Amino acid sequence: MALRGCCRLTRCLVRVVESRNAFFTGSVGLKSAGCLQYSCAIGKQGHPWRSLSSASQSSAVVTYEELKKLLVARSGVVIDVREPWELREYGNIPGSINVPLEQVNGALQLEPEEFKEKYGGDMPSTTENIVFTCLAGMRSVKALQTAMSLGYSNAQHYPGGWQDWAKHEILQTKE
């Protein structure tokens, strides 16, 4: 009896987490021994956050090649959400603007002049291409969710982050 109540509560909590984070898709079930079983669908490139929402599923993730084209064409804004010391320590994607993750919500609500003064780059409009990046894709997906909640309809993230960018750039210089 207690196990059944616990399982109902667990299923309910998993549904709440699924709906709030949109990180996981799958189902909750009970094994014969009464243990909770949760299956996680892993999306493109092995990242569970591929399914951010059904509306943005196909366009939420940017590859290295797509990011490179966006930067060359200057057809969007790239925002690196790492801390400033990380950029100094490891490097950054040329042309990106540094807005630490904790400041993204407030930054995207500033007046364009304030944004430019504080962050040194043009503030994206709510319809402009905006790509969030970080070290390895964890913080950028949080920034993406924040931007989407603020009405940024063309927001995306680069799940490979700085690590993937640096790997590709080093490989290109060796060729």
Summarize the confidence of residues 77-91 as an average pLDDT: 96
| CATH code where residue 94 lies | 3.40.250.10
Q: Which of 6, 12, 40, 134 is catalytic?
A: 134
* Whether residue 130 sits in one domain with residue 68: yes
Return the bridge partners of 30, or none.
36
Number of Cβ atoms within 10 Å of the Cβ of 169? 15
Token representation of residue 116: 């430019």
Range(s) of the domain holding residue 90? 64-174
Cβ atoms of residues 88 and 140 within 8 Å: no
- Condensed to tens digits (0 to 9), the pLDDT of residues 96-153 reads 999 999 999 999 999 999 999 999 999 999 999 999 999 998 999 999 999 999 999 9
35 is known as an active-site residue: no
pTM for this prediction = 0.67
pLDDT at 166 over 50: yes
> SS3 for 164?
helix
Q: Is residue 50 part of a domain?
A: no
State the pLDDT at residue 172.
Answer: 64
Number of Cβ atoms within 10 Å of the Cβ of 113? 9
- Condensed to tens digits (0 to 9), the pLDDT of residues 33-78 reads 333 332 223 333 334 333 344 344 446 899 999 999 999 999 999 9
